[in-house]
């Protein structure tokens, strides 16, 4: 009986989390985003200034112009991209990197879940 009650409670919590998910990047949770970043981005991206891996450092990336990290060999597609990395631009890009601007260099399928994207972007906003 208690087990069943707990199960029902857990379901309602999960449901509340789903229905209150912001769906817009500005309201993400940076702590959750940090976990997602560690799992999905960190192999290729450092978050400290001046460290490039397979991808460029993402330190201070929010609102910066694309392809701005010195010493990183960006693709022509990224160099041609003139739209600054606003929250909205990052959201579009991370949903489908290679379908957005990406030329070929970021071999990453993207984050289909909008809450995951919001959280990762909220985390990127802390990298200053």
Whole-number Å distance between alpha carbons of 60 and 124: 7
Shortest CB 19 distance to ligand HEC, Å: 24
Q: Which residues bind ligand HEC (CB under 6 A)?
A: 40-41, 43-45, 54-56, 58, 61, 66-69, 74-75, 77-78, 85, 90, 94, 102-103, 105-108, 111, 120
Shortest CB 28 distance to ligand HEC, Å: 12
Shortest CB 66 distance to ligand HEC, Å: 4
Q: Which is nearer to ligand HEC, 7 or 123 (CB)?
A: 123
Name 80's Cβ contacts closer than 8 Å, sequence gap at least 6. Answer: none
| Of 93, 123, 97, 126, nearest in space to 109 by CA | 97
Residue whose tokens read 């993402």: 58
Write out the two tokens for 36: 């997602």
The whole-angstrom distance between residue 127's C-alpha and the CA centroid of its chain comes to 12
Q: Which is nearer to ligand HEC, 3 or 70 (CB)?
A: 70
């Amino acid at each position: 009986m208690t087990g069943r009650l707990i199960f029902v409670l857990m379901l309602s919590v999960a449901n509340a989390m789903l229905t209150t998910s912001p769906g817009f990047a500005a309201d993400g949770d940076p702590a959750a985003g940090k976990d997602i970043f560690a799992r999905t981005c960190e192999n290729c991206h450092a978050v400290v200034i001046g460290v490039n891996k397979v991808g460029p450092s993402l330190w201070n990336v929010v609102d910066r112009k694309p392809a701005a990290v010195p010493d990183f060999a960006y693709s022509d597609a990224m160099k041609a991209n003139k739209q600054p990395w606003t929250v909205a631009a990052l959201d579009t890009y991370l949903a489908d990197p290679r379908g957005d601007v990406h030329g070929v260099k970021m071999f990453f399928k993207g984050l289909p879940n909008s809450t995951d994207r919001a959280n990762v972007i909220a985390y990127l906003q802390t990298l200053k």
